[in-house]
Amino acid sequence: MVARGSEVRPSAVRQSSPRNARGRGPRPSIARLAGLGAGGAALLALLTGCDVGRTFDGFGWPQQGISPEANRMYDLWIGSSIAALAVGALVWGLIFWCIIRYRKRGEALPVQTRFNMPMEFLYTITPILVVAVLFYYTAVVQTGVDKVRSNPDVTVEVVAFKWNWQFNYRDRPGEDANTVASTLGTTEVIPILVLPTGRSIRFEETSRDVIHSFWVPEMLFKRDVFPGNVRNVFEVSSLDTEGAYVGRCAELCGTYHSMMNFELRVVSPDQYDRFIEAKRGGQSTQEALIAVGEEPLAQTTHPFETKRDNNNFGNASAGS
Ligand SMILES: [Cu+2]
């Protein structure tokens, strides 16, 4: 063993200098290529500038949120994706550099080293720093999204049941508040939740039977609706864009779960006030929507058609 080791070592030393001299040619060009690639990627990101996320299709995250909370979550996702890509590019670069730079070029055993304290320190500290930064921004955004004010401008109670929704407009937050107006979804009519722009809105959720989940994709947020004494509460500080947005149940809750849709209709504060007044005056949701100049029926989804009537039941039993 000793003799073999002593045979290998000198040859490794002898061969090391010509190998380096030969390797010097291709090395700068590989480094240059890697540098050009990284520079090009950075330039692309900078030139597309203000909206990196949109350029890369949100890195898989839905876009165009309609509340400040949605936009903050979107920004967190984009920032985290860019950080992950930067770390990924660095690691891939180092892996490929090692594969090329230290590839096998002969039978000689390379110089053996044991450890390198600065390197070990660096690759212990760097991941801890990366995780700490990601944790900090996640905690800040999550705290903002979960923030509940003592006195929101609008409070709406969301009642879920198999397989539809009821929306109760309340005079204040809390279980003891009074319902001033209500909208109930039926088999024929999709329930429309009317809310104003520019006001803070509290959602208080409760279920009559099983677990459902209140989800408007444009809020980039969903929250489970529990039965029993649990009242799941969340808020948006405002809704920024008027329009009609489909809402869905996002928790598998039974046979017609996929048909458990509603519509969020975001209107101006003035329209909202008049809508509530009309509802308090005894009008139906559809009448009140017409009264404030809005479409009376849902624009983004439609009731589930069972296609069950006497005729097709008759046909089925006849076997034709
Ligand atoms: Cu459901």
CB 167 within 8 A of CB 156: yes
**Do the beta carbons of residue 310 and residue 283 sit within 8 Å?**
no
What is the structure's pLDDT at 11?
40
Give the pLDDT band (50/70/90) at residue 165: very high
- Distance from Cα 304 to the centre of ligand 1, integer Å: 14
How far does residue 305's CA lie from ligand 1's centre (Å)? 18
Q: Which helix (H) or strand (E) holds 139?
A: helix 117-145
**DSSP character at residue 103:** -
pLDDT at position 170 over 70 = yes
pLDDT band at 37 (very low <50, low <70, confident <90, very high): confident
Q: Is the pLDDT of residue 23 over 70?
A: no
For residue 319, how far is its CA from the centre of ligand 1 (angstroms)?
Answer: 34
Q: Please report, as a single letter, which amino acid is at residue 184.
A: L
Phi and psi angles of residue 195, each rounded to the nearest 5 degrees, phi first: -140, 155
CA of 259 relative to ligand 1 center, distance in Å: 9
User: pLDDT tier at 319 (50, 70, 90 boundaries)?
Assistant: very low
Calculate how far, in angstroms, residue 248's C-alpha sits from the geometric centre of ligand 1.
Answer: 8
pLDDT, residue 42, reads 64
CB atoms under 10 Å from CB of 127, counted, come to: 10
CA of 49 to the centre of ligand 1 (A): 41
Q: Which of 286, 293, 277, 294 lies closest to 181, judged by CA?
A: 277
Ligand 1 centroid to residue 265 C-alpha, Å: 20
| CA atoms of 315 and 319, how far apart (whole Å) | 6
Q: Is the pLDDT of residue 76 over 60?
A: yes
128 Cα: distance to centroid of ligand 1 (angstroms) = 41
Radius of gyration of the chain (CA): 31
> Which of the pair, 314 or 319, is modelled with greater confidence?
314
Gap from CA of 295 to ligand 1 centroid (Å): 26
90 C-alpha vs ligand 1 centroid, how far in Å? 44
Reply yes or no on whether the pLDDT at 176 is more than 70.
Answer: yes
pLDDT above 60: residue 270:
yes
As a whole number of angstroms, the distance between CA 78 and CA 17 comes to 47
252 CA distance to ligand 1 middle (Å): 6
- What amino acid is encoded at 64 in this protein? Q
Residue 204 Cα to ligand 1 midpoint, Å, equals 16
Task: Please report which confidence band the pLDDT of residue 162 belongs to, taking 50, 70 and 90 as the band edges.
Answer: very high
Residues that place a CB less than 5 A from ion ligand 1: 212, 249, 253, 260
Band (9; pLDDT cuts 50, 70, 90): very low
- Residue 210 CA, ligand 1 centroid: distance in Å: 8
Compute, in angstroms, the gap from residue 211 CA to the centroid of ligand 1: 7
